[in-house]
Amino acid sequence: MELKEIIENIKKEIPVLDSSSDYWLVRANSGEYYTDFNLNGYIGIGWNEITLEDIRRADNNSNVLKEILKEKLTFQDDLEPSENKYGITAGQLLRFVNNIKKNDIVVVPSEGSERFLVGKVTGPLYELDQYELEQYKSEELTHSRSDFAKRWKIHWLGWFNRSDADSALYKMIYSHATLSNINDYKPFINRALFPCYIEDEKLYISYHVTEEKDIQGVYLGQFVYQYSLLTRLLFPETRVDSKINVQSEGIIELITHTVNYGLIISMILGGAIVLTSGGKLKVMGLELEVPGLINTYQDYQKNKLDRIKQAKELADELGVPISELGIRIPRKLTAAIENKSVVQQATSNPPGNFEE
């Protein structure tokens, strides 16, 4: 098995996100129906008097839908609703039906917004009739079941605690609307749920700094600099971006613009790849020839072994800031790397050119 095949098998274990997906915050009646949404794989919206047919008949026109609301909808808490209230409700219903689409990401806060459930819209949009709703709510359960008739089917991806997420997300929860577009918070949500993921052919890895005391800036800077330098030495044609949110404990997010190269660097840091000064790599105990691994420009080729030697020294030096900061590689990534099934048996042939 060649190194390229090993990397491809590891990539199968890493979530791939679609940058064209919209992200939505969906409130479950102040968290009351959080468990119901979770267990039954859906999100829903109220105002059952207004059907999907009514909303589609409005042809995405808020003013038309407002008139339908005035005819059919009664607000229990407001006997004389304002034009603004009708307008807000119409906007919520139109967004739920017309703007949410398959593969979008939804985020549902729990009661008190202490936990966030994250899922992908798998479709379809559907509507329960009155009999189906009564049957649904009549089942004896330990949690509250919603009476929302209009629903989207959801595949839940996971959840995260507010206390573990970036503080930038705190602003998101101040929106009390039933449905809000939260595209501005995409990177923070992705990072909170997926310490390692692929998006737009880039590899995003969040390294967790576990040092509880105030960290020394020299080690933080040393880690990011040497990580980037190691990448440049081995793969000059790619680049690394960094995002840092660290005081004591916190996250260093490194974005490598070529997925395969980023995985190789992570394998080096995790000890799955050992760089030797003799022009070979040891991958999980299997020795592979280096020639052909690094697909660089011709003027770099004559200095390949020198760069491997420098990279080995850099990899060793990276152990210092990693140790001082208590940096932890994401479990999802280490599990994929350590999975012996991805390295069943090396072939006797050296790997060919390693290209993305």
pLDDT in tens, 194-214: 989 999 999 998 887 766 665
Q: Which residues form the domain of 208?
A: 3-14+200-342
Predicted pLDDT of residue 123 = 86
Do 32 and 180 lie in one domain? The reply is yes
Lowest-confidence segment of 110-124, 165-179, 202-216 by average pLDDT: 202-216
Do 164 and 246 lie in one domain? The reply is no
Task: Tell me what the mean pLDDT of segment 270-281 comes to.
Answer: 52
Split at pLDDT 50, 70, 90, the class of 147 is very high
Do 234 and 161 lie in one domain? The reply is no
Number of domains observed in the structure of the chain: 2
Do 190 and 204 lie in one domain? The reply is no
Q: Give the residue from 177, 194, 211 where a domain finishes.
A: 194
Do 252 and 186 lie in one domain? The reply is no
pLDDT > 80? residue 40: yes
pLDDT > 70? residue 61: yes
Do 137 and 231 lie in one domain? The reply is no
Q: Which residues contact 201 (CB under 8 A, 6 or more apart)?
A: 257, 258, 259, 356
pLDDT > 50? residue 45: yes
Maximum average pLDDT range among 90-94, 165-169, 254-258, 316-320: 90-94
pLDDT > 70? residue 281: no
Tell me if 12 sits within 8 A of 259, measured CB to CB: no
Lowest-confidence segment of 36-40, 81-85, 164-168 by average pLDDT: 164-168
Do 176 and 65 lie in one domain? The reply is yes
Does 351 reside within a domain?
no
Q: Give the residue from 145, 177, 194 where a domain finishes.
A: 194
pTM: 0.77
In three-state secondary structure terms, 126 is strand
Buried b (16+ CB within 10 A) or exposed e, 164-177: ebbeebeebbeeee
Residue-level length of the chain:
356
Do 174 and 263 lie in one domain? The reply is no
Split at pLDDT 50, 70, 90, the class of 216 is low
Q: Give the residue from 159, 178, 194 where a domain finishes.
A: 194
pLDDT > 50? residue 288: no
What does the mean pLDDT of the chain come to? 79
Predicted pLDDT of residue 225 = 74
Does 178 reside within a domain?
yes
In this structure, what token pair is assigned to residue 228?
């980037």
Phi, psi at 254, each rounded to 5°? -115, 130
Do 36 and 170 lie in one domain? The reply is yes
Do 180 and 215 lie in one domain? The reply is no
Task: Tell me what the mean pLDDT of segment 105-112 comes to.
Answer: 96
In three-state secondary structure terms, 295 is coil
Task: Tell me what the mean pLDDT of segment 131-146 comes to.
Answer: 86
Does 356 reside within a domain?
no
Task: Tell me what the mean pLDDT of segment 34-40 comes to.
Answer: 96
Q: Which CATH number do you get for residue 125?
A: 3.10.590
Q: Is the previous residue joined to 124 through a cis bond, with omega within 30 degrees of 0?
A: yes
Split at pLDDT 50, 70, 90, the class of 50 is very high
Three-state SS letters, 43-99: EEECCCCCCHHHHHHCCCCHHHHHHHHHHHCCECCECCCCHHHHHHHHHHHHHHHHH
Do 172 and 270 lie in one domain? The reply is no
